[in-house]
Amino acid sequence: MARYLIGRIIGLIIVFVMVSVIAFFLMHSVPGGPFDEEKSPLPPAAKANILRKYGLDQPLYVQYLRYMWSAVHGDFGISFQSPTESVIQLIARTWPVSIQLGGLAILVAFSSGLVFGIVAAIRQNSWIDYVVTFISTLGITVPNFVIAIWLLLIFSVRLRWLPTGGWPTEGSGNWKAMILPVITLALGPSALVARYTRSSMVEVIRSEYIRTARAKGLSEQVVVMRHALKNALIPLITILGPQIPNLITGTIFVEVIYRIPGLGKFFVSSIYLRDYPMIMATMLLVAMLWSFTYLLSDILYTIVDPRIRLN
Amino acid sequence: MSRNRLWSVIVFVCVAMLALAACGGTAPAPSGEAQNASNANAAPTSAAAESAAPTSAANDSGATAPTSAASDSGAAASANGTLNGVKLPDDAAPADQQVYVVHYDNTSDFTTVDFYESVYKRGGAVSDVLSDSLVRLDKNFKIQPGAATKWEVDSSGLVWTFHLDPNLMWNDDTPVTADDYVATFRYGADPKHAWDFTWFFQGVIKNWSEVVEGKVPVDQLGVAAADPHTLQVTTVSPAPYLPAMMLYSDTMQKKALEAHGGLYNSDPATSVSSGPFVLKEWRKGDRLIYEANPKYKGTNKPFIQKIVVIGAAPSTDFASYQAGEIDFVTGSNLSPADNQIIESDPELKKQSHPQPNDFRTDYLFFDDQNPPFNDVKVRQAFSHVIDRDTLIQQIIKPSQGIPAYSFLMPGFPASNSKELSSIQNYDVAAAKKLLADAGYPDGKGFPKITLWLRNEAPVRQAVAQAIAASIKQNLGIDVEVSNKENKTFTDAMNAKPTQIQFGMVSYGMDFLDPFNMLSVWLGGGRHNWNNAQFDEMVKKAASFTGDPNERIKMFQDAEKLLVTEAPGVFIYHRYQSDLYRPYLKGTELEPDQNGVAAIHWPGISSFSQVVSSIYVSKDVANFDRQLP
């Protein structure tokens, strides 16, 4: 196990270096820079001044090596979009918001998905089953920005029950603002969880050991909750894994539509604005999250299912 | 249940939901208004709730205000209608309703509220309210005294003297002096600062270019303090347009600039103001709050006591406006679908205010140095196949623009649109003849070309497609339309030689002088058209110090040459139809000399008198306004 982990971690470091090289040279190969010439071309001297200010007057490989040297020392530079703080501070400020939103969404998604999935499995082919199937089909097929706009039009613009956006940060703001984005974000994963739970529960419920449990005279509740559910959960780990980095790095559409001051928008705005330090930081962050999520879910398998071994 | 039946149920419900959503999209406004009206008439409880809500806002301003002046005057407001020393108009709402809430674009750069820190990183937010510019604009785009009470130029036409209002004070109780202005201009030219707007004063202020290039130290800049309240600006050549340029001169404080650098206004702790507002709060990426400056001594004193600027993607503005959360939406953030809803709703239509904004003109441009567009006949042929009237009626819509046959929009100084309208008129027969004369009869032998767009909104993509279709139909030339990402396009356009053979782009003015707009076409500038005669005419007119009417005539002659030579084919002048609530009132919002009633460019900032004019009227009680 330890050897396996060390191997995996060394692999990850190689992956990070490769990601950094590719991202760095790719972003510098795109035209434009952190200056604005929309109105009029900048005088050459003025442009040179800007490039010098951001250290972009050096050859690319020098810039890359400088960047990596600082990065290894924990200095990821200063975002062009937010020059009063370092990239680390910027991420430390915005990421918790995205984690909050994503975390709540995961919580809602998994609890509701599990409940719906179990109920649908137990009451197979009943009206509850059909309703759950319908809603989950909707949740999986309709993109979350469409759902976001529907909810916004219905609950904010027409009914005026909830604000159109915002997020309670730094002790102020309206908690009601959290409702729509969390539901929007949770709907898709919830549907996924419900579908998986339902089908694996249906399968497990028909297996021999459940029949044995029932034959022993255990109550239906114990049979479902203690015996069936545990085995039905295994496929969920597979789908839970990828959802986590997806949700907690901030989903661009949901954050943008609901005005949530999270990390999500930086994935796009950094590229549009040629904010090189922030592009690198977001890339590396995502690479890191994905790698560790997969590593973690591999380890989790061995705990839930003793038949699986890591080698 | 069979699979088929299940699917038919799903399809039915989907259709039903889509229909519901569609209703939500098209109908909310009228019913929302009806609801408001009935609230106001039949349910006094909601009005009570409304007035209860903002008290929390008033409370925290009272609690945290540096002096108790704000809360004192707030209390006084109900008694005698004065607020922070200004008398509210008779029909004004109470002090706690004198709040203005807007969005800024949180997908764009927003790092500063100071022009001299960055022009392009102000996020489209309310900015430049923390000090006064030397001059400001009224609704007729006339220059009015700002921080400078008067100004004059010496007999050489080169040395301008601006007399500062001696009453102006920073809210740290130090006076505003000419040294502050000098420090601000020096900061703008400083190569280390690398300001993104340095081109603006290049060739205008003495030694500006040399300082930017690092050839001359910053203290040699042609901006000097003759005494604490007298500022002198020396120009390279006579520049009668200098006062117009001085719109952008909201000063920074020398002391703060030296102590904290150019971003001192990004944090309320280091922020200092001599303008109509003070910075109260700035939660980066989220929202920013200004409050009226109780120590403001200038002549642009606001009725509005608090401005809340909330970060949002432009596409969400309309929904927030409909939900009563914001008071204003800039027309440039409204989609064609939004505009359709507004058109079909009488209440919203009344709240829509078309105005020329920054006198923006959309036009086609060419690589004029290489075939086929180095031939003036080809360019002129293109200028005759664009049916502007149909474009306006069918695609752009009359509330969003008017046809352009020349560069300067009606209402802009020296605009001569009537006389010039016959030069690039819609005339297919003339176009065909010109193209044949150029050696491409019916487009034979003409290469296939691509029309580049700069990250254009859907409406202008549609305009470009229509133009391409018209060129194909009338001239037999294949045109592919390609909408490019912003920086990719800009890089290619500015490259020397240009990498764009055929493109569409727009320009809006920076200051109210024909020199500003026409200088776009000077050799070595934005486009690669290089016409010595035009350059000479424009430059000569620019520094002409004689009769202003004669100067206008000189610019008109230059524009006529521009339109005739057709390095640009002018398509339309944009109108911006902003939405704002009828409870926003003020003399500056009433019809201007051209009958346009709107919050004129540049809106709420020290560049404009709107600041001291706009207020929230008692009508606000009829609206379900959700103050943050």
Residue B506: pLDDT above 60? Answer: yes
Residues from chain B that touch A35, judged by Cβ atoms under 8 A, are 196
In DSSP notation, A174-220 reads -GGGGHHHHHHHHHHHHHHHHHHHHHHHHHHHTSHHHHHHHHTT--H
Interatomic CA distance for residues B178 and A82, integer angstroms: 31
Q: Judge whether A152 is closer than 8 Å to chain B, CB to CB.
A: yes
Q: Judge whether A253 is closer than 8 Å to chain B, CB to CB.
A: no
User: For chain A, what is the mean pLDDT?
Assistant: 87
In DSSP notation, B412-442 reads STT--HHHHTTTS---HHHHHHHHHHTT-GG
Per-residue pLDDT tens digits for B333-387: 998 889 999 999 999 999 999 999 999 999 999 999 999 999 999 999 999 999 9
Query: What's the angle, vertex CA B339, arms to CA B335 and CA B344, rounded to 5?
Result: 150
What DSSP state is assigned to residue B264? G
Q: Judge whether A156 is closer than 8 Å to chain B, CB to CB.
A: yes
First CA to last CA distance, chain B = 50
Distances B16 to A142, B9, B21, B23, B31 between C-alpha atoms, Å: 15, 11, 9, 11, 20
C-alpha count within 13 angstroms, C-beta hemisphere, residue B561:
19
> B536 is written with which tokens?
């000479």
Residues from chain A that touch B196, judged by Cβ atoms under 8 A, are 35-36, 42, 50
Q: Judge whether A208 is closer than 8 Å to chain B, CB to CB.
A: no
> B612 is written with which tokens?
């001291």
- Name the residue with tokens 């109470």: B94
Interatomic CA distance for residues A93 and A206, integer angstroms: 50
| Of B10, B198, B310, Cβ closest to residue A259 | B310
How far is B424 from chain A, CA to nearest CA, in Å?
A: 24
Q: Map residue A120 onto helix, strand or coil.
A: helix
Contact A153 B28 (CB under 8 A): yes
Q: Judge whether A307 is closer than 8 Å to chain B, CB to CB.
A: no
User: For chain B, what is the mean pLDDT?
Assistant: 88
How confident is residue A310, by pLDDT bands cut at 50, 70 and 90? low
Per-residue pLDDT tens digits for B137-194: 999 999 999 999 999 999 999 999 999 999 999 999 999 999 999 999 999 999 999 9
The A residues from 77 to 116 touching B (CB cutoff 8 Å) are: 80-85, 93-94
Contact A130 B107 (CB under 8 A): no
Task: Calculate mean pLDDT across residues B279-286.
Answer: 92
Chain A with chain B: Cβ pairs closer than 8 A: 176
Q: Judge whether A140 is closer than 8 Å to chain B, CB to CB.
A: no
How confident is residue A291, by pLDDT bands cut at 50, 70 and 90? confident
Interatomic CA distance for residues B522 and B533, integer angstroms: 10
How far is A290 from chain B, CA to nearest CA, in Å?
A: 26
Q: Judge whether A36 is closer than 8 Å to chain B, CB to CB.
A: yes
Interatomic CA distance for residues B606 and B228, integer angstroms: 21
More confident residue, B468 or B22: B468
Model pLDDT, residue B23 = 40
Query: What's the angle, vertex CA B396, arms to CA B395 and CA B402, rounded to 5?
Result: 135
Q: Map residue B217 onto helix, strand or coil.
A: coil
Q: ipTM of this model?
A: 0.87
How far is B354 from chain A, CA to nearest CA, in Å?
A: 24
Residue B460: pLDDT above 60? Answer: yes
In contact, A160 and B324? CB cutoff 8 Å: yes
Chain CA centroid to CA B394, Å: 26
C-alpha count within 13 angstroms, C-beta hemisphere, residue B570:
30
Model pLDDT, residue A107 = 92
Interatomic CA distance for residues A262 and A255, integer angstroms: 7
Q: Is the dihedral of CA B133, B139, B143, B148 positive or negative?
A: negative
> Phi, psi (5° rounding) for residue B234?
-105, 135
Model pLDDT, residue B522 = 94
Residue B577: pLDDT above 80? Answer: yes
Per-residue pLDDT tens digits for B602-627: 999 999 999 999 999 999 999 989 88
Contact B323 A50 (CB under 8 A): no
Locate the chain A residue with the closest alpha carbon to B323: A157
Model pLDDT, residue B378 = 97
Contact A40 B525 (CB under 8 A): yes
C-alpha count within 13 angstroms, C-beta hemisphere, residue A14:
6
Distances A217 to A118, A211, A223, B436 between C-alpha atoms, Å: 21, 10, 10, 96
Q: Is the dihedral of CA B365, B367, B373, B374 positive or negative?
A: positive
Interatomic CA distance for residues B459 and B347, integer angstroms: 24
User: Percentage of chain B with pLDDT > 90?
Assistant: 81
| DSSP bridge pairs for B205 | B235
Q: Map residue B394 onto helix, strand or coil.
A: helix
Interatomic CA distance for residues B548 and B541, integer angstroms: 10
Q: Map residue B454 onto helix, strand or coil.
A: strand
What counts of helices (H) and strands (E) characterise chain A?
Answer: 14, 0
Q: Which residues of A81-98 are buried (b: 16+ CB within 10 A; e: fewer)?
A: bbbbebbeebbebbbebb
Element (H, E) at B79: helix B69-80
Residue B284: pLDDT above 80? Answer: yes
Interatomic CA distance for residues B469 and B385, integer angstroms: 10
Residues from chain B that touch A53, judged by Cβ atoms under 8 A, are 192-194
In contact, A46 and B199? CB cutoff 8 Å: yes
Regarding beta strands B306-312 and B576-580, do their DSSP bridges make them parallel or antiparallel, or are they unpaired? unpaired
